[in-house]
Chains A and B, each alone.
Chain A
Amino acid sequence: MSEKIVITGGTGFVGTHLILELLEQSDAELFCLVRAKNTSAEQRLHQQLVQVIEGSGYAPELINQVKKRCHAIEADLQGDITSLAKSIPSSISQFWHCAASLNYEERFAAEIYDINVEGTRKALALARALNIDCFNYVSTAYVAGRNTGVILESPMAEVQSSNVYESSKVEAEQLIYAQQDMKYRIFRPSIIIGHSRTYHAINFSGMYGFLRRLIQFKGMMARVQRGYLERESIRMNVDPDVPINLVPVDKVAKQAVAIARSDSSNTIFHLTNPMVPTVGEALEVLFSTVGLPPPKIVQDTTQYAWIDEKFNEKIEFYKSYLTGYKQFDRSASNAALGEHTNTTRYAVTANNLNEYCGWYCAQLAQTRSQVPVSR
Chain B
Amino acid sequence: MPNEIFVIGTGRCGSTLISNILNHHPDVLSLSEFFTFVTDLGTLIPQAFPAMEINGAQFWQIVSGVYAKQNIMLAHDIAIKEVLYPFKTGARFNASTGVPAILQTTLPHLTTEYDALFDQIHAVIAARGMATAEAHYHALFGWLAAHFGKSIWVERSGGSLRVIERLYQQFPNAKFLHIVRDGRDCALSMQRHNGFKMVLLVFQITEILGIDPYESDDRSWQDDLPDELISFLPESFSGKDFLAYDVPPSLYGHYWSGEIMAGLDVLDLIPAAQQLTLQYESILTDTRNTIEHMIQFVSPDSSANAAWCDAVMSSVKRPTATWQTLDAREQSRLNDACAPGFAALTKRGIRW
Contacts and interface: CB of A to CB of B under 8 A. Distances in A.
A122 B185 CA distance: 59
A307 B254 contact: yes
A371 B211 contact: yes
A372 B46 contact: yes
Interface of A: 103, 105-108, 209, 212-213, 216-217, 219-221, 223-226, 228, 305-307, 310, 314, 368-372, 374-375
Nearest to A225: B258
A107 B210 contact: no
A177 to B, nearest CB: 31
B175 interface: no
Contact of A225 (B206, B218, B226, B254): B254
Given A217-B207, A224-B200, 12 more contacts: A105-B226, A105-B227, A106-B227, A216-B224, A219-B207, A224-B203, A224-B255, A226-B261, A228-B340, A307-B254, A374-B39, A375-B262
B248 A374 contact: no
B330 to A, nearest CB: 9
Sorted nearest first, the 5 A-B pairs with minimum C-beta distance are A225-B258, A219-B207, A306-B250, A223-B203, A374-B45
B262 A374 contact: no
A223 B262 CA distance: 11
Contacts of B200: 224
Nearest to B223: A103
B335 to A, nearest CB: 11
A228 B44 contact: no
Contacts of A372: 46
B43 A374 contact: yes
Interface in B198-245: 200, 203-204, 206-208, 210-212, 218, 220-221, 223-227, 230
B337 A306 contact: yes
B166 interface: yes
A93 to B, nearest CB: 36
B328 to A, nearest CB: 14
B207 A225 contact: no
B12 to A, nearest CB: 15
B134 to A, nearest CB: 17
B207 A216 contact: yes
Nearest to A231: B340
A209 B225 CA distance: 12
Nearest to B208: A216
A220 B203 contact: yes
B150 interface: no
Contacts of B166: 375
B46 A374 contact: yes
Given A374-B46, A375-B165, A225 B204 contact: no
Contacts of A228: 254, 257-258, 340
A84 to B, nearest CB: 28
B333 A306 contact: yes
A225 B210 contact: no
B276 interface: no
B281 interface: no
Contacts, number: 82
B251 A375 contact: no
B43 A226 contact: no
Contacts of B56: none
- Chain A contact residues: helix, strand, loop or mixed: helix
A270 to B, nearest CB: 28
Contact of B254 (A224, A369, A370, A374): A224
19 contacts: A103-B223, A107-B230, A212-B224, A220-B204, A220-B207, A224-B258, A225-B254, A225-B255, A226-B261, A228-B257, A228-B258, A305-B250, A306-B333, A306-B337, A368-B220, A370-B210, A374-B45, A374-B46, A375-B45
A225 B248 CA distance: 16
A369 B204 contact: no
Contacts of A103: 223
Nearest to A317: B226
B337 to A, nearest CB: 7
Given A225-B255, A310-B251, A374-B43, A369 B218 contact: yes
In this complex, which of A108, A225, A372 has the most chain B Cβ atoms within 10 angstroms of its Cβ? A225
Contacts of A306: 248, 250-251, 333, 337
B292 interface: no
Contacts of B212: 371
A225 B165 contact: no
B115 interface: no
B42 interface: yes
A372 B47 CA distance: 12
B162 interface: yes
Contacts of B261: 225-226
Contacts of B258: 224-226, 228
Contacts of B206: 223, 371
A38 to B, nearest CB: 14
A226 B255 CA distance: 9
Nearest to B258: A225
B29 interface: no
B336 interface: yes
B251 A224 contact: yes
B210 A314 contact: no
Contacts of B333: 305-306
Nearest to A218: B207
Interface in B22-45: 39, 42-45
A225 B162 CA distance: 11
Contacts of B211: 369, 371
A314 B165 contact: no
Interface string B324-352: 00000000010011001000000000000
B163 interface: yes
Contacts of B203: 220, 223-224
Nearest to A213: B224
Contacts of A314: 226
Nearest to A219: B207
A103 B223 CA distance: 8
B315 to A, nearest CB: 32
